[in-house]
Chain A
């Protein structure tokens, strides 16, 4: 079973920052937070992951609360191509299957 809770859908204006929340109140100390997205008719794509420190890469930033019970994925300047379903996943270190929840359907509005 998925260990995360995400809003079903969100809208964001093109060019603005998209902030996608995720609750993972039962996360264990050895579990990381991963984010993937799935653009229509494509396979999922890895975005970013982290343990407890905030992380940033060329695609997004990941902000994890100090108690690690929630996190936020930030797309700094959303474009129409960012329209997708975004999945927040908690996963233990190595040798663990990846369980996807229902994700958040993000609509970027022109």
Chain B
């Protein structure tokens, strides 16, 4: 596609439910990033995938959070047993990762846990 696509754009879920957020990166981009942005706050790094290397999971806030990237393309961020503090916009980005390249961001998924 022309840009990074995220779905759904909005998700409302009940506390304790699991949710899956999807990211379709730009075709050919080997690097993929997930961030979280709570209301009025900055971007919090969650996880980074680069090609076939082991992902950098250092930003995941708890073991309720996990992410996969299948076939080096689409990525899914899963949050288990959601809590109200998980409410935020979840942003995905991708980049070529060939030398110094810019990252392209999607429009995000707004997650609301009620």
Query: Which residues of A approach B to under 8 Å, CB–CB?
Result: 32, 34, 36, 38, 42-46, 49, 85, 87, 91, 93-95, 97-103
Whether B50 and A95, one on each chain, are in contact in the complex, defined by CB atoms closer than 8 angstroms, is: yes
- A95 CA / B44 CA spacing, docked (Å): 18
**Given A97-B45, A98-B33, A103-B42: A43 touches B93 (CB 8 Å cut-off):** yes
- A45 CA / B45 CA spacing, docked (Å): 16
Does B56 belong to the interface (CB within 8 Å)? yes
Whether B103 and A95, one on each chain, are in contact in the complex, defined by CB atoms closer than 8 angstroms, is: no
- A49 CA / B107 CA spacing, docked (Å): 22
Q: How many residues of B contact A (CB 8 A)?
A: 25
Q: Which residues of B contact A100 (CB under 8 A)?
A: 35, 42-43, 45
Q: Which residues of A contact B2 (CB under 8 A)?
A: none
Q: Which residues of B contact A38 (CB under 8 A)?
A: 43
Known pairs A36-B103, A44-B103, A94-B100; list 20 more (Cβ under 8 Å): A38-B43, A43-B91, A43-B93, A43-B105, A44-B43, A44-B93, A44-B105, A45-B105, A93-B100, A94-B97, A94-B98, A97-B45, A97-B48, A98-B103, A99-B45, A100-B35, A100-B42, A100-B43, A102-B42, A103-B42
Does B85 belong to the interface (CB within 8 Å)? no
Chain A nearest CB from B51 CB (Å) reads 8
Q: Which 7 A-B pairs have the closest CB atoms?
A: A43-B105, A46-B102, A100-B43, A97-B48, A44-B105, A102-B42, A95-B50
